[in-house]
Structure 1
Amino acid sequence: MSTAFRSATDLAEAIRAGEVSPVELVETYLDRIDDHNDELNAYVNVLKQRAREQAREAEQAVEARADRSSGESTDPRDGEDLGPLHGVPVAIKDLHMEIEGVPHTMGLAPLADNVAEESSLIVERLEEAGAIPLGTTNTPELGHTMQTYNELVGPTATPFDLDYNAGGSSGGSAAALAAGLAPLATGSDVGGSLRNPASCCHVVSVKPTFGLVPKDNRPDAFSSTTPVGVVGPMARTVDDLALMLSVLVGQDDSDPFSVVAPRDDYTDATDRDASEFDVAFTPDLDTFPVADTVASICRDAVDALAEAGATVSEVDVDGPDKGTLNYAYGTEATPLFAVMAGYLEAEYGIDVAGDDADDLSSSFVQTVGMGEGYDAVDYLGTNEVRTELYDAVEAVLDDHDALVMPTLSTPPLTHDEPYPSEIDGERAGGLPMDWGLTWPFNMTGHPVVAAPAGLTDDGLPVGLQIVGSRYAEDDLLGIAAALEDANPWAEDYPDA
């Protein structure tokens, strides 16, 4: 396997041992970005000079540590510990994850020249752990939809077939991982934005329990409650996902909802046998139309988990009907974007419904318009539906360690393909919510790990999601690692 596709865990160990040069590693990824980013649109901004400077500093720190160990240096600073991600490159989603001095567009063409004045908390934690940001990755405007495209740089493709979209809204991060343009990446999730692109690009991600990974959102620190919005890690291996999650968790006063993590190291969560787990499976959450090929691939993946020793049973999930859920989520989510549009106008003078509409995708403008049509009574009235759904999921988790199901109702869509209005003869609504099985868990707040399930006959990725009780990330990572062992995907990437 080429260096670009080595796991972040392996790279971090090799860097600390002096076996891999951070300078050479950064150049490897920058070369691949030069070769592949024009066709993928994974990165919006590439930080060549900044990354090279940080790589040189990282290499000097490794050399100084080696000098101290060999007795060639007596400077106590040369013995300082290196962070768990020392010298490891990372891609940063271009949405609410600012890097000081770097353009921060949030997918908005009118903000092409907007430069972040300070780094966000998640970037600070990664850099404190030694990670080196390579650049910022593409997202639809404010992460408003499940496909990655915007008027700034266009659509992002999945490396498995450039005619197909990488999914959204963390599509740039997922595509960068799958193409070997970074070993780690960040994402965010209000309706599936960590999980949908993971499915389209054959990578792993975790939507953590609300508050586990703090968010320093401003000007509204309370904006992520309805629906539940989180930030989280993305990677190619479950071990890497656990390593990155360990760096990101922990309470911070900038986030009024952040909590003290039940554990500060998740890396040992992946070293468990499949026989320890009791897993429930649903092909459709008893709600969604799902393509037969998707259900079959997910079922085969779960069967492989069972063959490895896990207890697996198919279950019913007795929650609200699809129409009720759709209305509730739309009532929660679209006002969020309407409020954010107001912030854009106040802070940057961007008129979403007026003069600037031509520089924005029509889907974003429509989402903002929909959100302006709801009132506070509508908004708060969705909590009863959320409660009913939460209770239905908890009823399954009372008897099982996790609930497993497909992530998307079909394989990836082409760049110009609408959301499905029909799936294998069954009527669908043609909305993003008809395509992803993800957003119900932004209503309930359950943590979810997304993982590859397999490939279609045409070589397109299909993913599944592993849902658990709050703060059960260790179980979810353990199940995902057992799945990776039973149904490995490391060799599936086009250039691996």
Structure 2
Amino acid sequence: MSRERYETAGIGEAALTRLSATELASRIREGEVTATEAVEAHLDQVDARDDEINAFVTVCADEAREAAAEADRVLESAEADAPDGCDDSDGGNGDDGDEQIGPLHGVPIALKDLGSLKESLPYTFGSALFSDFVAPKTAVTVARLEEAGAIVLGTTNTPEFGHKGTTTNDVIGATASPIDTELNAGGSSGGSAAAVAAGMTPVATGSDAGGSLRIPAAACGVYGFKPTFGLVPSVSRPNGFGRARHHVTKGPLSRTVADSAALLSEMAGHHPDDPESVPVDIAFRDAVQEPSTDLRIAYSPALDVFPVTDAVRTVVDDAVASLEDAGATVEEVAVDHGYELDELIEAVIPTFTTSMLESATVTAESHGIDLREHPETVTDSLLRMLELGEQYGPADIARSDIARTAIFDAVQEVLSEYDLLATPTLSRADVGLHEDLDAEAWEWPLTWPFNWTGHPAASAPAGLTEAGHPVGLQLVGPRFGDDTVLAGSTVLESQRPWDHLYD
């Protein structure tokens, strides 16, 4: 794009990478920006920032450029075929001969190097054992995003098989938070969160088994959304039932709430080949359009038992107060689940480690690679987790499920009286770049109880500590009340805009 065209469109050359996905899609449809220009700007940003951040594992520049050129051709064709005086490039279908212009037409996107498969792209899953693996097919959610017009830039870093809350591995190393590169980006979707925060992509995919969307969102100062379990399908084989013990789901990472709503609108929706998929439709986009501020919000500063630092508590208190300033009713509550933190940790370790052991078993069946037989290559913390998983049996899981049920009932009780439950996302905001928070570091994230329960939960930027470290506010809604979470998040964003974090 020429400098003159940028100025005419009201944006500077560097500002393409600051646009939200929805704004970028609109400008592409209006002809102010081409998909090729959008892709090139983001590839330039990857070149400029990723040596410092280390967010991407694979950048598929040539393929992205080809997809962008095709997107531009389709848009030009639709415009040429439109009747005089009509613009048929508004995201819908035109005449029978027109090709569809999707709501994400021409928008760059990054995919987590775990689960978000795109056919013919290499994937490592964060493991050196899979350095030669190429995806044989495209995941349902990725196919839906591409059908909506999104253009894949590449894959983003994750800890080995997503097993911990910090992103570092032996494939490409640690991923830094763009807000403070001495801090880790969080995990396990850390590469995606960091790429979004650094302007290397407007949006990215992630997945969440214990906070893997919300932890890096908080650590990188972006917005991460874990939808109600079952809304976003995952057609996994040979085991189609492996996501329920610790509710694992895919979701978006973005710099705006509206962008996450846009991605969820494409990713969600029943799929018959996922036995855990539910036929529930939610108007994600509508939720961010003039949301009601008349919300009843329960505020739990520590979910009764988590060791939230004063630095985090101060920032979260202020963020919650801003919701009250906007018109919400906010009341501090006790969740009353009846457990001490050490009891909850004792209960969560069996469920999480055995779910990781299930994943390792499926990996051995599918790829002929038993992770436990490669101690010289597999991350020590993952091996430790698998060792722990082998120690537990059905009785241990049953005892864990009693605690899990108590947490579910306690959250349900709160949400029977309130629209949302607000908590800090993380108990501390100073996790170093190479700090290894492994299988037993459950006191850090206040996220994993909601993988037990399946409730929708988002992490929104709450602000910075005095040390300049990003803090997240977690908003939890009733099951299938994802629109309420989005609405509350939009109110927070309007009261405390966070776009300055990306300067």
Instruction: Pick the TM interval, shorter chain.
Output: over 0.9
Supply the AA of the counterpart residue of 2:500: E
Unmatched 5+ stretches in structure 1 = 421-429
In the TM superposition, what whole-angstrom CA distance separates every residue of 1:194-246 from its partner, at most 9, and x where no partner exists? Answer: 00000000111111111100011222111100111111111100011111111
Rounded to whole Å, the distance in 2 between the matches of 1:144 and 1:43 is: 18
1:99 correspondence with 2:108: no
Query: In structure 1, how many angstroms separate the alpha carbons of the residues matched to 2:378 and 2:446?
Result: 27
What is the alpha-carbon distance in structure 1 between the residues aligned to residue 348 and residue 84 of structure 2?
62
Question: Is it true that 1:372 corresponds to 2:372 in the alignment?
Answer: no
Task: Tell me which amino acid in the other structure corresponds to 1:441.
Answer: F
Runs of 4 or more off by more than 6 Å in structure 1?
A: 72-75
Q: State the match for 1:434 in structure 2.
A: 443
Per the TM alignment, residue 351 of structure 1 is displaced from its structure 2 partner at its CA by 3.7
Indicate conservation of the 8 Å contact 1:285/1:317, yes or no.
yes
Change (3 A) 1:418 1:98: closer
* Amino acid of the structure 1 residue aligned with 2:41: T
Mapped to 2, the partners of 1:60 and 1:196 lie a distance apart of 39
CA distance in 2, matches of 1:194, 1:245: 14
CA positional deviation for 1:38: 1.8
Matching residue's letter, 2:299: F
Cross-structure match for 2:269: 250
Q: Secondary structure at the match of 2:106?
A: coil
In structure 2, the gaps of 5 or more residues are 1-10, 89-93
Are the aligned partners of 2:293 and 2:488 in contact in 1 as well (CA < 8 Å)? no
1:307 to 320, 325, 341: 325
Deviation track 1:424-466 (CA, whole Å, cap 9, x = no partner) reads xxxxxx9321110100111111110110000112221000110
Does the 8 A contact of 2:184 with 2:435 survive in 1?
no
C-alpha contact 2:293 2:491 (8 A) present in aligned 1: no
What SS does structure 2 have at the residue aligned with 1:169? coil
TM-aligned CA deviation for residue 271 of structure 1: 2.3
**Aligned-partner Cα distance in 2 for 1:141–1:492:** 29
Matched, 1:270 2:288: yes
CA RMSD across the alignment: 1.9
Q: How does 1:208-287 map to 2 (within 5 A)?
A: 208-263=227-282, 265-273=283-291, 275-287=293-305
Partner Cα distance (2:491, 2:243) in 1 = 32
Tell me the alpha carbon deviations over residues 5-28 of structure 1, each in whole angstroms, 9 at most, x when there is no partner: 111110111111111100011000
| Residue 308 of structure 1: how far off its partner (Å) | 1.2
Tell me what 2:480 maps to: 471
Q: What's the CA shift string for 1:133-183, capped at 9, x where partnerless?
A: 110111011110000011111111001122210000000000000000001
- Using the TM superposition, name which of 340-349 and 479-488 deviates more: 340-349
Question: Does 2:62 correspond to 1:52?
Answer: no
Instruction: Report the Cα offset of residue 70 of structure 1.
Output: 5.0
Verify: 1:32 aligned to 2:58, yes or no.
no
In 2, Cα distance between equivalents of 1:151 and 1:360: 8
Aligned to 1:488: 497
Is the counterpart of residue 158 in structure 1 residue 171 in structure 2? no
Amino acid at match of 2:205: T
- Kept after mapping to 1: 8 A contact 2:167/2:191: yes
- Asked if 2 retains the 8 angstrom alpha-carbon contact of 1:167 and 1:412, the reply is no
Within the alignment, does 1:387 sit opposite 2:396 as a pair? no
Please name the residue that 1:427 is paired with.
Answer: none
Q: TM (normalized to structure 2)?
A: 0.93
Look up the SS of the partner of 1:243 in the other structure. Answer: helix
1:87 maps to which residue?
Answer: 106
The answer on whether the counterparts of 1:351 and 1:357 sit within 8 Å (CA) in structure 2 is no
1:267 partner SS: helix
2:192 is paired with a residue of what secondary structure? Answer: helix
Per the alignment, in what secondary structure is the counterpart of residue 465 of structure 1?
strand
Q: 1:135 is matched by which residue type in structure 2?
A: G
Corresponding residue of 2:367: 348
* Structure 1 residue 71 displacement after superposition: 4.8
Structure 1 342/81 Cα, relative in aligned 2: closer, same or farther at 3 Å? closer
Give the Cα–Cα distance (whole angstroms) in 2 for the partners of residues 473 and 9 of structure 1: 19
SS of the residue 1:28 aligns to: helix
Is the counterpart of residue 323 in structure 1 residue 332 in structure 2? no
Task: After TM superposition, give the deviation of residue 353 of structure 1 in Å.
Answer: 2.6
Aligned residues: 483
Say whether residues 1:398 and 2:416 are aligned partners.
yes
1:182: which partner in 2?
A: 201
- 1:95-143 CA-to-partner distances (Å, cap 9, x unmatched) read 1111100112111111011001111111101001110011011101111
- Name the SS of the counterpart of 2:64 in structure 1: helix
* Change beyond 3 A, Cα 1:412–1:91: farther
1:22–1:59 contact (8 Å) kept in structure 2: yes
Query: Helix, strand or coil: the match of 1:403?
Result: strand
Contact 1:275 1:311 in 2 (8 A): no
